[in-house]
């Protein structure tokens, strides 16, 4: 509902880019989950601009947990994380000048001129810091239950990375997969193939030098989910995940397993053959369904990709409007921005996936599941 | 929540493929919406198997509105449509034999053996008949407010249709676009380019003859939505639409506007330039954002595509398991099935989009909006 | 939300008194719950008018389960019960003549003249038949988990029954309490003191002969609930129960434990002293809090009372308005009605309490809890 | 859902009594509502302990609005109010010693020992400060739409005040009623009859001197609500209001209009006769239904009463348990507490009523209604 997501574990997001603070309320958490502020800091650091590849806006993200934690653990009541805003340069923004492909004009029509337009206000990617902080609690809790989540840059500026599909064909054990995912989460520029990563960075730098930006695609794997989670129809795992994935600014496409490429296949080539392993566990030979059948997990890794449009903010002059003066203008961005959002998006995707997964598991197994 | 979707207008779906009936409860409808049973029949007919391209299961879909309508109009209380099941051939299904890429195994893990496995039970595409019946009420109500929805087969078996993007480049007026959408809804095989359609049909027949199936992609346009509808973050228009789109069996990808292709573009080529028309209305020169910025409509047509995997049911022998006997088997489908689901999916997509859109509009403008 | 109640187990109610059918969709039920149509029939029979104390409208309540049950058990998908309407006498109702203390005028303002006014339409107590049918599934499932619910007429026409508070002072074991509750549910006129019951009946007959009606108060006990169920603040056990109790037509007051009388006590007399039994279980010496502290069960029986206003429909002439003709009128009821609703309300209260309790338990312990 | 209430306008409550801060997120607010921090301060002051009648804990309630307000008005995004905790004396609380009629033991069973037990933690009445701060935004917004809310102490320590029912019999105009409600909100000890108020205070002081406490009943009137607001069944006005009223600690009973007394009346005496005024408006001669029929407003003032149990915390020795040591103890409260909560409850009741009413109105008339 609006700024609240989740039926069993819920997250409420608040704040504007240039207001006093942003933050998040996590409700429905089991009591007794360990809360490690150092891990939250690490998560925030991964999302932060960290090099010439990112915006020059420096965000230190000092945060404060103002409720829901007692003696280092969740106490079962709403956990609120507050992140004060600093280093804001509101003068970079002029009300009325709509930044192309941003929400400015749409927000103006929705809020009738009352919106906080500075830095995108509530629409700012800045709010994903609060989501990542929440993930810093949920992801370790999921890992303690054997559930791992990891995201890499599947492609950026048309440079492809190695894919999870290739890795799955190697027949790795679940713990080997988990290791790959943990490794990804530690990387500043999370790719499976470092050479591809270097080429991507080069392209990002090129775009930056040309006052332009590039888009990209992320790929996420979730391992360790038990079979039988999710609901047919409106609470399908795909529905829940896509709902929160499309909440993230810049996401314009989401696909599971084979996704759009699967639409080009035939039943005989696209179906996933089911098999028993010798130890009695069930697996599928391929994973075109991304670990989900009929909206419900089948025990295979859950796989999905998100298409991120190129960063809308560029320093090039563009055609736009001034909706206050009601006239066409040439707009040239002044703010500090990322030439590619896809690197910083990876931890955000991990964290929103964690929210959806924790919600589904808590609904199925009860409020104490993550304790 | 589970089988209920929507915050303001909600739809609750029920029924199993081989049970007594399927149906839907529509709640939150404005009082006074005209309910025309002939239109509902037409909608159901469009979803029905109608030729050698589809399953041989004959569904007459007689339906009964058992509540919520008085003197030919909605009375503002829950509107329930009941569609009894007929022509069921339950003996085609053997419990334990998991159909590859179907929900059988996942459902078994979820429901512990209590699931109604006949014909896919609650997971059956049969339930989309109830959704389409609901659409037969909502779509005319939206049209009365100037909002039109239409879906075509964007590609099938790798044969591409003409695209909405091409059509939008022609600079048609809103009423000309509406005419195109209305026309699509009347077509048995909805394509923009009839030649492409004929090639698709040929490919579908080929697949059928080979006991195989094909997938495809649908493309949907919604015109007439006012700017300012939707919410930042968790109730973004993309979130709401993708949530219900991924509820539909076989959908494995959803993209808005440029979608995955937009991820390959640069900011300078991918951004949509804003402009004033001479009459003072605002438009964008391109529509790579699919009519949505920051989760909120910007007044341009909303555009999205859904990737449908190839029909999982094929008459070819496939590797699978019998989860009762706990052994590997060779599975060969016996039921009656569609070699391509994408044709029959078009009206379903129209109708779920109508549900999401009606919900968003009712939330924004109040309970009497659609009256 | 509107006609849907519950976060984990939800019930969606539909139908109008004189429409084709009423019914209910129960979603979120664990798979594997036994469904016994004979028990549902018994529940419906208890709610039905059965003597000169009730309306002369004969309701046979034939019902059909159209989804969600397979081989005699819930299959985990939405369970829909349909109850066709029969024996309707719509000509007893004239649109525009507002029945005093009924919803006619309020509904007219809400639905702008589109409401189905016949027999109260969707507002009719008739819809409680669907609730009671749902209870016929939930109450046996709760009993299988050791949770018992029973309701008696605490007072009617100012004649008081014996109270649960008195019974609790006898120090009965939980199984003895359960026996009392089971006994109550079998009674046609559920009272703890039969003499009081006879006096109530006399008063009801008197009221009937005078073309008048009487009100009354019900009292409900729920035993066997584990301590720790419910939430602080907005999902308190009192909030959940009162929400659904006030949904029932005619309920104008709800109190838990000591309720309004507790407001007249002091802390030293009203507080419930906590004690350990020899077997290590915790109890309170009194139960003024009705088994709930801070919104959460404490393991003591949950106790609440509902105030039912006198049946609004009486055969006496009353001052009212005709909102079509926009004039004052003298209104005299023509329909068939109950001189006291409180007897037939007892099974309804049991069933809505079962819905709220099943929802809370399923949220806490997961979707398989009631299986 | 748990700590979030409301479908259209929602409030999310967080914080523990002795944690860093408490607070509230208000979502769904129309953009453009004036936010006056002085009024919020006044609201907080009314809830604050202010004399020998209340606890000695001094709460200055400095608050900060950290999101959702721009240039003095709501900007349509989540509005978050943070109230840091000060003057906490955690050493007054020993874990394991259950305070009788408090949530300590129930919370222990729910949170398995992880609860923040200091000062009642999340269960503390302290959190109502955040609710009252939210009300400081909503109540002026409702007043700007002609909707007024006021609460008085209907009875305390068995001393009755004058009643709203008596006042309504005087035939006052709506603006005269609004004046009475506004006057009540300004009073430190809100009663209609000051003599009764003096007697109540005396009784409260007596109780305090005896280390005891008293309960009481509040009565609330809401004027100016249009007819036609609310829903039949699960979103009845009574359901919505009672849901949030029973969220408030200490509330053990809620009744509308005649309430429990109405249960003792007959249809002929209890029904509210409808009449047209000369100016064409509709009214009822009595208001036993408290302005609500069939769950929907009828245009008459909404009337309800809440029963508050005597403050559980008293300085007298009481029988209790230590659930850590698992033994019976004699418990004597050490914290600072109110001998009567009912005075400070009045502004809290006003504010939760405002939340429920704002939610219902926004659902009916759309997101811009309160702007």
Beta bridge partners of D141: none
In a domain, B371, yes or no: no
Instruction: Give the residue from chain D lying closest to C113, CA to CA.
Output: D228
pLDDT level of residue A338 (50, 70, 90 thresholds): confident
In a domain, B77, yes or no: yes
| pLDDT tens, position by position, D67-115 | 999 999 999 999 999 999 986 666 777 899 999 999 999 999 999 999 9
In a domain, A197, yes or no: yes
In a domain, D370, yes or no: no
Give the whole-angstrom CA distance, residue A220 versus residue A135.
Answer: 15
Nearest Cα to B143, choosing from B33, B256, B32, B289? B33
Subunits with at least 3 CB pairs below 8 A relative to chain B? A, C, D
Sign of the alpha-carbon torsion through D106, D109, D111, D112: positive
Q: Of A49-63, B235-249, C170-184, give the range with the top mean pLDDT.
A: B235-249
Phi, psi (deg, nearest 5) at residue A184: -60, -40
Instruction: Give the residue from chain A lying closest to B214, CA to CA.
Output: A266
| pLDDT tens, position by position, C65-87 | 999 999 999 999 999 999 999 86
How far away is chain A from the Cα of D186, in angstroms, using its nearest Cα?
Answer: 31
Give the whole-angstrom CA distance, residue C368 versus residue B155.
Answer: 42
Task: Write out the DSSP string of D281-318.
Answer: -EEESS-TTTTEETTEE-SSPEEEEEEEPPPS--SSEE
pLDDT at A336 over 80: no
Phi, psi (deg, nearest 5) at residue D311: -50, 130
Is there a contact between A77 and C232 if contact means CB atoms under 8 Å apart? yes
pLDDT of res. B290: 98
- In Å, how far are A141, B49, B323, B341, C7 from B183, measured between CA atoms? 52, 20, 47, 20, 41
In a domain, C371, yes or no: no
Q: How far is CA B62 from the centre of its chain?
A: 21
Q: Is A291 helix (H, G, I), strand (E, B) or coil?
A: coil
pLDDT of res. C59: 57
Give the whole-angstrom CA distance, residue B207 versus residue B189.
Answer: 17
Nearest Cα to A95, choosing from A18, A208, A20, A23? A18
pLDDT at A251 over 60: yes
Domain count within chain A? 1
pLDDT level of residue D49 (50, 70, 90 thresholds): confident
| Mutate which: A62, A77, A124, A366, vs D, most D CBs within 10 A | A77
pLDDT of res. C171: 86
Give the whole-angstrom CA distance, residue D154 versus residue D160.
Answer: 6
pLDDT at B54 over 70: no
Sign of the alpha-carbon torsion through A138, A144, A146, A152: positive
Chain B contact set for C104 (CB, 8 A)? none
Q: Within a 10 A sphere around the Cβ of B48, how many other Cβ atoms?
A: 19
pLDDT of res. A335: 64
How far away is chain D from the Cα of C181, in angstroms, using its nearest Cα?
Answer: 23
Nearest Cα to A190, choosing from A220, A147, A166? A220
Contact B232, D76 (CB under 8 A): no
Q: Which residues contact C247 (CB under 8 A, 6 or more apart)?
A: C5, C352, D233, D234, D236, D239, D295
pLDDT of res. A60: 73
Token digits of residue B11: 């739809």
pLDDT level of residue D57 (50, 70, 90 thresholds): low
pLDDT of res. B61: 78
- CATH number for position B142: 3.60.150.10
Is there a contact between A80 and D31 if contact means CB atoms under 8 Å apart? no
Q: Which residues contact D179 (CB under 8 A, 6 or more apart)?
A: none
Contact B41, B32 (CB under 8 A): no
Is there a contact between D364 and B366 if contact means CB atoms under 8 Å apart? yes
Q: Is D116 helix (H, G, I), strand (E, B) or coil?
A: coil
pLDDT of res. B57: 59
Total residue length of chain C: 371
Q: What is the mean pLDDT of residues D44-71?
A: 82
Give the whole-angstrom CA distance, residue A215 versus residue D221.
Answer: 57
Instruction: Give the residue from chain A lying closest to C29, CA to CA.
Output: A364
Is there a contact between A112 and D32 if contact means CB atoms under 8 Å apart? yes
Contact B142, B24 (CB under 8 A): no
Q: What percent of chain D has pLDDT over 70?
A: 96
Q: What is the mean pLDDT of residues B20-33?
A: 98
Token digits of residue A136: 């810093």
Q: Which of B7, B77, B366 sits opposite D366 (nearest CB)?
A: B366
Q: What is the mean pLDDT of residues D185-211?
A: 95
Report the relative pairing of strands D21-27 and D10-15 from DSSP bridges: antiparallel
Beta bridge partners of C5: C11
Token digits of residue A331: 């707009």
Give the whole-angstrom CA distance, residue B368 versus residue B31.
Answer: 7
Is there a contact between B114 and C73 if contact means CB atoms under 8 Å apart? yes
Give the whole-angstrom CA distance, residue C263 versus residue D160.
Answer: 12
pLDDT of res. C55: 66
Q: What is the mean pLDDT of residues D335-357?
A: 93
Is there a contact between A25 and D3 if contact means CB atoms under 8 Å apart? yes
Using CB atoms within 10 Å of the CB of residue D280, give its burial: 0 to 12 exposed, 13 to 18 middle, 19+ buried: exposed
Chain C contact set for B16 (CB, 8 A)? 67-68, 70, 75, 77
Nearest Cα to C159, choosing from C340, C290, C31, C13? C340
pLDDT level of residue A57 (50, 70, 90 thresholds): low
pTM exceeds 0.80:
yes
Nearest Cα to C100, choosing from C250, C314, C246? C314
Give the whole-angstrom CA distance, residue C209 versus residue C53.
Answer: 11
CB pairs under 8 A between A and C: 19
Instruction: Give the residue from chain A lying closest to B160, CA to CA.
Output: A264
Beta bridge partners of C97: C322
| Mutate which: A103, A104, A106, vs B, most B CBs within 10 A | A106
pLDDT of res. C333: 79
Nearest Cα to A194, choosing from A224, A161, A159? A161
How far away is chain A from the Cα of C367, in angstroms, using its nearest Cα?
Answer: 5
Q: How far is CA D99 from the centre of its chain?
A: 23
Give the whole-angstrom CA distance, residue C134 versus residue C5.
Answer: 13
Instruction: Give the residue from chain D lying closest to A112, CA to CA.
Output: D31
Residue matched to tokens 């509820």: B247
Chain C contact set for B1 (CB, 8 A)? 4, 7, 10, 27-28
ipTM of the complex: 0.97
Give the whole-angstrom CA distance, residue B215 versus residue C250.
Answer: 55
pLDDT of res. D58: 60
Give the whole-angstrom CA distance, residue C131 versus residue C109.
Answer: 27
Q: Which domain holds residue D115?
A: 4-365
Q: Which of C1, C107, C264 sits opposite D7 (nearest CB)?
A: C1
Q: What percent of chain B has pLDDT over 90?
A: 89
Phi, psi (deg, nearest 5) at residue C110: -80, -45
In a domain, B351, yes or no: yes
pLDDT of res. B56: 59
Beta bridge partners of B14: B23
- Please compute, for residue D173, the number of CA atoms within 13 A of its CA located in the half-sphere on the CB side: 4
Chain A contact set for B115 (CB, 8 A)? none
Give the range among A78-92, B51-65, C109-123 with minimum mean pLDDT: B51-65
Sign of the alpha-carbon torsion through D328, D329, D330, D335: negative
Report the relative pairing of strands C148-156 and C159-160 from DSSP bridges: antiparallel
pLDDT at D298 over 80: yes
Nearest Cα to D333, choosing from D319, D347, D313, D353? D313
- DSSP assignment letter at C266: B
pLDDT level of residue B90 (50, 70, 90 thresholds): low
Nearest Cα to D13, choosing from D139, D131, D104, D137? D131
pLDDT of res. B1: 81
In a domain, A371, yes or no: no
Q: Which long-range contacts (CB under 8 A, 24 or more apart) does B36-40 make?
A: B36/B136, B36/B140, B37/B65, B39/B136, B39/B140, B40/B81, B40/B133, B40/B136, B40/B137
Give the residue ranges of chain C where pLDDT is below 70: 51-52, 54-59, 87-90, 335-336
In a domain, C370, yes or no: no
Chain D contact set for C227 (CB, 8 A)? 105-106, 109-110
pLDDT of res. B52: 67
- In Å, how far are A183, A255, B174, C256, C289 from A176, measured between CA atoms? 11, 24, 55, 55, 54
| Mutate which: C230, C367, C369, C370, vs A, most A CBs within 10 A | C367
Is there a contact between B77 and D232 if contact means CB atoms under 8 Å apart? yes
């Amino acid at each position: 509902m609006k700024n609240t997501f989740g039926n069993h574990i819920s997250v409420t997001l608040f704040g504007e880019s240039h207001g006093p603070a942003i933050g998040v309320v996590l409700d429905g958490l089991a009591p007794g989950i360990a809360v490690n502020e150092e891990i939250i800091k690490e998560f925030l650091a991964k999302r932060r601009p960290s090099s010439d590849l990112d915006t020059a806006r420096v965000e230190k993200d000092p945060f404060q947990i103002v409720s829901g934690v007692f003696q280092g653990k969740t106490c079962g009541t709403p956990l609120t994380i507050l992140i004060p805003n600093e280093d804001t340069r509101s003068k970079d923004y002029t009300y009325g000048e709509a930044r192309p492909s941003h929400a400015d004009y749409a927000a103006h029509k929705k809020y009738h001129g009352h919106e906080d337009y500075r830095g995108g206000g509530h629409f700012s990617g800045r709010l994903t810091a609060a989501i990542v902080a929440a993930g810093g609690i949920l992801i370790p809790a999921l890992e303690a239950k054997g559930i791992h989540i990891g995201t890499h840059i599947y492609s950026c500026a048309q440079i492809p990375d190695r894919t999870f599909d290739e890795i799955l064909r190697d027949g790795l054990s679940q713990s080997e997969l988990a290791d790959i995912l943990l490794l990804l989460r530690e990387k500043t520029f999370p790719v499976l193939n470092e050479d591809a990563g270097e080429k991507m960075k080069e392209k990002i730098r090129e775009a930056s030098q040309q006052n332009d930006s590039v888009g990209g695609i992320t790929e996420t794997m979730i391992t360790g989910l038990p079979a039988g989670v999710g609901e047919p129809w409106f609470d399908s795992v795909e529905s829940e995940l896509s709902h929160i994935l499309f909440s993230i600014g810049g996401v314009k496409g989401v696909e599971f397993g084979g996704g759009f490429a699967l639409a080009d296949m035939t039943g005989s080539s696209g179906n996933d053959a089911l098999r028993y392993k010798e130890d009695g566990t069930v697996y599928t030979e391929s994973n075109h369904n991304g670990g989900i059948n009929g909206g419900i997990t089948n025990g295979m890794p859950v796989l999905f990709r998100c298409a991120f449009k190129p960063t809308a903010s560029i320093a090039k002059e563009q055609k736009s409007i001034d909706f206050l003066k009601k006239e066409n203008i040439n707009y040239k961005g002044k703010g500090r921005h990322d030439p590619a959002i896809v690197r910083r998006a990876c931890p955000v995707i991990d964290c929103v996936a964690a929210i959806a997964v924790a919600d589904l598991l808590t609904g199925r197994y009860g409020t104490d599941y993550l304790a």
